A = this chain, B = another copy of it.
């Protein structure tokens, strides 16, 4: 490709490569380089289609214009959407994104973080999959980290998340207000904060309504939710409503209800979390909470850029965003 280096440009321009470097880094003013020199250098650089190699700079200054993004999997719409926004924001800000997936696998997570660090990333955005608070705090001293969607309890690392406790409580209350008493919650993996917070909200709302929480399930997977819901609907408890904590689960619930001939919402009410363009088309349309994904990505990036631009601003911040209810036809008032 472009074989031009500072040296070749310098030779053509009849100046030293130092000067070329300064001009091309917009430091001409700072070093009081003559307008004439600056002009020639820029002209030659353009003429020869000079393209600096960031790696060479990286090795020197030990920092790159790369941001590491660590998510469970972008096959999940929520993370795909967030990641898409982040990648775009980064690009607009002059950063390239290294996106890695860790499949909620702690070993993989550790490995990928080390990989990213060895590649001199300037900053990191992570939806943590495991309890690596201390490790992250250690890294955060040198490489700014922002947690997104989830946070590690007790870790002093900035985060931008939904107000998941509110989500759980709000949806539960929504069902309670409509007369439901036997409200089950199909929980996801309970170690991640987004889930545990929602569960906490659910339990709290149930307690406040003098109802007994009923938690079951352990994954976000559709298939598992399907089987678990089958069990649940056949059980003695037989809820009149189910609170699903993610869309994958909701699909499993719907499938199970259909299979057993339970009509939604007549025989079973369902509410869930997260939205996407398909949700309006499944019938009945499921009442759901939608998280402000675009805003979440935006705030997260801004928070990161702030620390990147001013390495002194080490104050960690926690941001909890409010979500929006989208009412469908999946809840019956009884």
Contacts and interface: CB of A to CB of B under 8 A. Distances in A.
Interface of A: 1-2, 51-56, 58-59, 64, 66, 73-75, 77, 80-81, 83-84, 87-88, 91, 96-101, 103, 112, 114-120, 139, 142-143, 222, 248, 251, 254-255, 276-283
19 contacts: A2-B117, A51-B114, A56-B59, A59-B59, A73-B84, A74-B83, A74-B84, A74-B87, A75-B84, A84-B101, A88-B103, A91-B112, A96-B116, A96-B119, A98-B99, A99-B99, A278-B281, A281-B282, A282-B283
Given A75-B84, A80-B74, A278-B278, A117 B59 contact: no
B277 A254 contact: no
Interface centre among A64, A80, A117, A279 (most CB of B within 10 A): A80
Contacts of A96: 98, 100, 115-116, 119
Contacts of A255: 281
Q: How many copies does the complex hold?
A: 2
A141 B40 CA distance: 32
Given A74-B83, A80-B80, 4 more contacts: A51-B118, A53-B120, A55-B120, A98-B99
A91 B84 contact: no
Contact of A75 (B80, B97, B248): B80
A116 B115 CA distance: 18
A322 B251 CA distance: 28
A1 B84 contact: no
Contacts of A97: 98-100
Contacts of A222: 277
Contact of A77 (B77, B115, B116, B120): B77
A134 B7 CA distance: 29
A104 to B, nearest CB: 13
B74 A1 contact: no
Contacts of A80: 74-75, 77, 80
A99 B87 contact: yes
A51 B117 contact: yes
A133 to B, nearest CB: 17
Nearest to A79: B80
Contacts of A56: 59
Interface centre among A55, A66, A120, A278 (most CB of B within 10 A): A55
A118 B277 contact: no
Given A1-B142, A119-B96, A251-B281, A81 B75 contact: yes
Contacts of A83: 74
A239 to B, nearest CB: 21
Top 8 A-B pairs, shortest CB-CB distance: A278-B278, A80-B80, A281-B282, A75-B84, A99-B99, A283-B283, A55-B58, A74-B84
Interface centre among A51, A58, A74, A255 (most CB of B within 10 A): A74
A264 to B, nearest CB: 11
